[in-house]
């Protein structure tokens, strides 16, 4: 979420561009592609919210699309992507956040199918309302699936990424609850760049034959 339609559009375009770079960097490590593509999803999410701003909130398709990405899709995407990229020794314990994400996504998808999600412009923020039952359990499952999977990944870079996501989300939530300004788009941008650096570090080094071919071409 950003503080205006223009900010959402600019941030979303920039984050999506970082995502495109990440996917390109991860092309030689297919297991990293779901995580590398996360900024593409976050960028699209910001662009959709620009449409929510443009329509003045309400209950239209843009609001529903925003909620579908933010709630069930991310709850399942993040733990599944982390499981794909994690080292073998961590995969068994990552089944826990994946199961939590699947259950949470099912509850959220059912809520979106049976209830009406609405958006309300509140100064420099957008408030979304779905009227979820058992909100505490749903939030706990969502956090276990998303942040929990990163912290349990067994990969130092992803653990640091999880800490960064947690800190950014905490600051954004504090400002949003005060209805002062929404800064999640800035946090998403910082996290996306950090994720791109993680993908870059994971690129396999060129083998001897590739080095010889590259040297030959350069002659």
Bigger pLDDT: 46 or 211? 46
Share above pLDDT 70 across residues of the chain, in percent, rounded to a whole number: 86
**145-182 pLDDT, tens digit each:** 999 999 999 999 999 999 988 887 777 666 655 544 55
- pLDDT (0 to 100) of residue 2: 75
Long-range pairs, 130-138, Cβ under 8 A, ≥24: 130/67, 130/71, 132/107, 132/108, 138/104, 138/107, 138/108
Query: Could you give the C-alpha distances from 65 to 74, 79, 118, 145, in angstroms and in order?
Result: 12, 21, 11, 21
Could you report the per-residue pLDDT of 78-122, keeping only the tens digit for each? 999 999 999 999 999 999 999 999 999 999 999 999 999 999 998
What are the domain boundaries of the chain? 5-205
pLDDT bucket at 216, cuts 50 / 70 / 90? very low
């Amino acid at each position: 979420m950003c503080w205006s339609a223009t900010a959402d559009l600019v941030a979303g375009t920039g984050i999506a561009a970082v995502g495109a770079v990440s996917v390109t960097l991860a092309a030689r490590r297919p297991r990293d592609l779901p995580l590398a593509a996360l900024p593409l999803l976050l960028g699209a999410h910001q662009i959709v919210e620009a449409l929510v701003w443009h329509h003045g909130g309400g209950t239209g398709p843009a609001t529903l699309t925003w909620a579908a990405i933010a709630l069930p899709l991310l709850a399942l995407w993040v733990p599944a992507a982390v499981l794909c990229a994690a080292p073998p020794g961590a995969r068994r314990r990552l089944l826990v956040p994946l199961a939590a994400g699947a259950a949470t996504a099912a509850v959220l998808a059912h809520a979106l199918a049976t209830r009406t999600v609405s958006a309300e412009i509140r100064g420099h923020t957008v408030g979304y309302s779905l009227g979820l039952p058992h909100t505490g359990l749903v939030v706990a499952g969502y956090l276990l699936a998303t942040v929990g999977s990163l912290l349990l990944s067994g990969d130092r870079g992803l653990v640091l990424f999880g800490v960064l996501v947690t800190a950014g989300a905490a600051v954004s939530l504090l400002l949003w609850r005060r209805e002062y300004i929404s800064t999640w788009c800035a946090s998403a941008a910082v996290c996306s760049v950090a994720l791109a650096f993680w993908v870059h570090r994971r690129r396999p080094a060129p083998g001897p034959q590739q080095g010889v071919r590259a040297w030959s071409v350069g002659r």
